Every structure is written in structure tokens, then in C-alpha cells.
Amino acid sequence: MAADIALVSLGTTPGLRRADEAFAALAREAGARCELVRVEIGVAGRLRRHPAVTDLVEALAARRTVRGISAGAVVYSTITAALLQPGRLDAVRFDSTAALNRPGLAGRWQRERERSVLRDAGLLLPWGDVAAAAIPPGSAPAVVLRVPVEPVPRLSEPDVDAIAYAGWPRKRGLDLLCAAWASAAPAGARLQIGGLDREKGLDWLERCGVPEPPGVQWLGSLPRELWLQRVARARTFVNASRQEDHGLAQLEALSAGTPLVTVPSPGAYEALPIARTLDPALVADDVTADSLARALAAGLELGDSDRTSYAERAARVLEPFRPEVVREVMVREVLPTLEERG
């Protein structure tokens, strides 16, 4: 029997995979049948060394995948997955638009093709308010369907000063992070960096001419549960990303009550306006190591009462992201439209 919904999942990053799994779970909990269809990129994946080629390879792979789908409605998990589809587009879910994350000549064809995708789709499902604000006038109807963010319990008193994620060191600004830490951290302070091991981290730092600062512990890749436990034990979460397509890791840090120290990363950075509301002193003025160092120093100076107050306010701001709230949006606003398309 055909599924009510087929979700075409590129799943090229941990965040995208998590968001796709969350969408499928929400749909099933709401009573729909949802099949999560993984896109197999194959040997062409070796060509993904330039944004224009990367998006072309992934869009073509998604087009091949859709040929074998039988479902009432097909939802594309990213705009890239929808770029080259020949038939109707029932719904497109996305963390960011190409207009935000594909600037310059490297994103020209994607931005041009994106306009017709956003116009012709039956329904647009941006992950957050920042992505929704980037949808141009004249596009299809849109419903903000957030990636659910569950409460993350603090298992103990903080026992590490800062934690950061740098799985893609250039994009995540590993060099900016380490330069800022060397400038701002007091003697004996500890910074844990997840997403890559020490060898890979030092290789990038050497290319950038930035020495490894004292107090760094390289965590490598951790299972999500263990990673969240680490985040909950940190006094601050530090983001140095040169580009941010949503910021799920930052939202989870806020959910753990961990103060977010961040640069104003360009892109559909959903946590940025929240961070500015909670404590503007922890948001750097620009994407530089010097500016991040000043914000980091302010974060490391927070006392116990400051962090408690921050956590309480963050919990209130994150209410729209809680699973039960997002599930209600799925039931009231998303599934009825998809059923009509089917």
C-alpha cells in the first residue's frame, strides 16, 4: 500500500537527518503514514567539491530517487532536492533558501531555479521564522514547521567552561573559535570541541596559521545523547560559524540552559535573534576572533544566578519549538493541505 506521504531525504548532514526523522515521526504521531525515502548519491558524490556542482549532483540524485515513489503527496526535505524535479511539487521543507546560503557566482543557477520552486510548490515548510522571512513575495503558501527541540536536563553542575561544534572546520570557524579562546579564556579554563578529532582540527589550524590554544579537549564525533550531556555540563556554548543554515545545535544548547556565545553568522540562523534577546553582551558584533573574544569573556564571567536566570528565560522563549506545539501545527496546518494534494 502506498504511503500517504513520502519524504525525499538528502540527509547530507546530521542536522538534516535529524530534521527529516523528526518530520516523519510527527506525521506518524498525527495519524498519517509517512515513508522516509533516502536519496542515494552514489559515486557522483566524489564531485562535490564546489557548491554549484554539489547542488547539481544532489538535485539529480533526488530526481532519480523520485521516479520510484508511489505516494499521495511527496515532500522534499530541502530546496536542493526539489530543484530539478519535473513534476508537481506537493511541499518543500527547508532550513534555508539559496538566496541566503548560496551567494555569488557559485549559487547563481540555484538561486534562479529556486524562485520557480518557491512559486510553484503546493506548500512551503520553512524550519523557522528567519527562513520564512527570506521567502520572496509571490511564492507558495508557507507554514513554519519547526524542528522539535526537547528539554535537555542539566545532569550536574557545569564542570567545563565552554563547548563548541566544529565538524566542518572552515564553515564552523574553528580558527576564529581557537583564536578567540586563546585571547579570552582565563588560565586553567577548558574548551571542549565536538565533531572532529585533534588531528583534523590541528590540520585546519595550521593552514590558518592559528596555534592550538591551551585547555582544548577534542571530543571527536559523539552519539547525540552523549553530546547533549556534554552540552548540558558546559558553562557556555560557543558558535563561530561563518555561515549558519539554522543552528539546531545552538537551539539545543539553549534548551539545556547553556548560555549561547555567538558570532552573528550569516544565513537563516534561527537562534541568533533569540540569543540577542536573552543577553546581547554574549553576541559578537561581527564574525571576527576579536569580537567573539569579547563576547566569550562576558559569557565566562556569568555567575551561577546569571546562568540560572538565562536558562529560565531560554525555556520560555523555546516554547514554540517544543514537540507538542510543533505536532499541533502538523495536525492543523500541514496534514490537511497534504491530504488535499494527495
Percent of the chain with pLDDT over 70: 97
Reply yes or no on whether the pLDDT at 325 is more than 50: yes
Reply yes or no on whether the pLDDT at 45 is more than 70: no
| Residue that has been written with the C-alpha cell 540560572 in this structure | 308
Reply yes or no on whether the pLDDT at 2 is more than 60: no
- Cα(333)–Cα(25) distance, integer angstroms: 16
- Poorest-pLDDT segment among 14-18, 211-215, 291-295: 14-18
Reply yes or no on whether the pLDDT at 12 is more than 90: no
| Digit-coded pLDDT (tens) for 57-82 | 999 999 999 987 888 899 999 999 99
Reply yes or no on whether the pLDDT at 149 is more than 70: yes
237-266: average pLDDT: 97
Query: What's the pLDDT at 113?
Result: 94
pTM for this prediction: 0.92
The whole-chain average pLDDT of the chain stands at: 93
| Digit-coded pLDDT (tens) for 94-127 | 999 999 989 888 889 999 999 999 999 999 999 9
Q: What is the CATH number assigned to the segment(s) 160-319?
A: 3.40.50.2000
Pick the CATH number of 3-148+322-341 from 3.30.450.40, 3.40.50.150, 3.40.50.2000, 3.40.50.1370: 3.40.50.2000
- Cα(237)–Cα(231) distance, integer angstroms: 7
Query: What's the pLDDT at 41?
Result: 85
> pLDDT band at 307, cuts 50/70/90?
very high
- Poorest-pLDDT segment among 40-49, 91-100, 154-163, 176-185: 40-49
Query: What's the pLDDT at 106?
Result: 84
- Cα(300)–Cα(295) distance, integer angstroms: 9
Domain chopping of the chain, boundaries = 3-148+322-341, 160-319
Give one word for 142, left, alpha or beta, with left for phi > 0 and alpha for psi -120 to 50: beta
HEC states along 39-57? CCCHHHHHHCCCHHHHHHH
| Digit-coded pLDDT (tens) for 49-59 | 778 889 999 99
Query: What's the pLDDT at 164?
Result: 98
Domains 3-148+322-341 and 160-319 share a fold: yes
182-210: average pLDDT: 97
Query: What's the pLDDT at 295?
Result: 98
- Cα(82)–Cα(64) distance, integer angstroms: 11
- Cα(272)–Cα(260) distance, integer angstroms: 9
What residues have CB less than 8 Å from 240, skipping those under 6 apart?
A: 164, 166, 172, 173, 174, 176, 177, 180, 262, 263, 287, 292
Reply yes or no on whether the pLDDT at 11 is more than 90: no
